[in-house]
Structure 1
Amino acid sequence: MTQDTSIAETGAQILAAVRTVVVGMDDPLEIALATILAGGHVLFEDVPGLGKTVAARSLASALGLDFRRLQCTPDMLPGDVTGSYVYAPDTGEFVFRPGPIFAGLLLADEINRTTPKTQSAMLEAMAERQVTVEGNSFALPTPFHVIATSNPIEYEGTYALPEAQLDRFMVRLAVGYQETEGETQILLNRMARQQEATHVAPVIDTARLLEVQRAVEAIHVHPDIARYCVEIARATRHAQNVAVGASPRGSLGLLLLGRALAALDGRDFVRPDDIKRIAVPVLAHRLTLTPQAWAQGVSAEQIVRNVIALVPVPPTVGVPE
């Protein structure tokens, strides 16, 4: 049994455990898992009530990660996220009390409901895996990942995420409404549990997750595939209706997530189809559209799909030489 096959089997077990609770999210769940294996952060942007919170909690449980949920509100302060210094009467000193961000997986629920100042408190953590409070830096646990949710249809009392923070999310995913059968299954599962709470048993522990993440780093990427990622990102910078295209972090996201998808598929090399599959969730949220695009109803997702259709696919399939 190869190491890549072992990653694929581990991934299948994790997804199977999550699907005992979460119904009808097969593709978003697999991409979210691949994002964590690639060391990234996930943004779920969709209407409330679709199970995003349950999916994040279940994924954390299956991965054996310490889970914290942060309900974002307009009155939340940066210290409510990072932690702060408090006075200890027994010693007469101020000691640092860690906030909820000190977790293996932090769920920032409705992240667009808190102010930009508090949103920015997560930026250093997502980028550097540390927080700085009153001039002192504190390392976050390893691994550390953020899954955030955002409501795209409600604007009153919300604050749009700044581009710098959006760019820190490796992917932005939408869940979508269930088909009739899937929604019916959700109701049947709830009746069978006879309680609101759900539970997913750990499939792996933190040590195994770190091992898998290291193995993903060894997945082969043919130079033509790397260039393909770059050409796609560059094409968004010159696309019609785009004011600012994807940065090099976007092309890097394609490569990193492509490796994780290959590993979950039991392969030790990346194919062009891996890149095509993830182009929209990796790149769409990194584009800044022109006012004309908004007026015409053109979406960033549509622009990325057009780019994928126009950029030539490399002749190689990514197989190691």
Structure 2
Amino acid sequence: MPEKLVEVKDLEISFGEGSKKFTAVKNANFFINKGETFSLVGESGSGKTTIGRAIIGLNETSSGDILFEGRRINGPKSREGEKELIRKIQMIFQDPAASLNERATVDYIISEGLTNFHLYKDEEERQQKVRNIVNEVGLLAEHLTRYPHEFSGGQRQRIGIARALVMQPDFVIADEPISALDVSVRAQVLNLLKKFQKELGLTYLFIAHDLSVVRFISDRIAVIYKGIIVEVAETEELFTNPIHPYTQSLLSAVPIPDPILERQKVLKVYDPNQHDYSEEEPAMVEIRPNHYVWASPSEVQAYLKAQ
């Protein structure tokens, strides 16, 4: 059995209080196995980044549990526990320009975590670690004395990746790491992430809105709609046999490279009103092996019949 590294149970994340309370995520349930890439896919505002930020501790949770290596990490932690988590869980942010300190050199940006956690014996070892990771992400040693504004978007994202990976984390949250990049650079960054996963045994939570991208990099995919995870399955299973109507609508919108087939395809439009949950409570149900869908008992019967 694969070992679970991260587990999210009945997670709810809300902002504000009383009449102004807004629930961004509800009933989120999933787990991420050690060494796999688990993708969270949904449209803008669906709550996927909110979940990622809650795992790393940037967003507070209203209820539910986030477990890392079997320990609950959302809620009060000792200072030592918090430091350990920061080192073990790193994040690659969506906007490479906004997430880098414009007044700091690349050397300082990449070294900051090493310095804060004393992850080197002497100055020589620090420089060696920084040079090694910069080389690994495809930048040059002379780039270390430059500032973020002197780089292209793809190069800035590589700096962000180097900053995260120099800490030697166990788990990396990649929040739309390629959405701000040119198409030609996207493949390079994805290949880079896959290369590091292979070499370092990393576990990824990959957050994206583009299903064609996650098919290339993911082992399993969770589809999220308005704060609720509606379907979780292995990548090829999800693409060949989407069950939830929202997943079907997302897949129908993926462009086909062939212009003739693209013109002939039929787009599916998702209507949330097709679900009647007034009398039946929905839950996450296993419809096929390792294929879970958010559905009410009558919907489960319909989905099973359609298989």
Task: Please report the TM-score for the alignment, with normalisation by the length of structure 2.
Answer: 0.39
Task: Please report the TM-score for the alignment, with normalisation by the length of structure 1.
Answer: 0.38
In terms of fraction of residues, the more strand-rich structure is 2
In terms of fraction of residues, the more helix-rich structure is 1
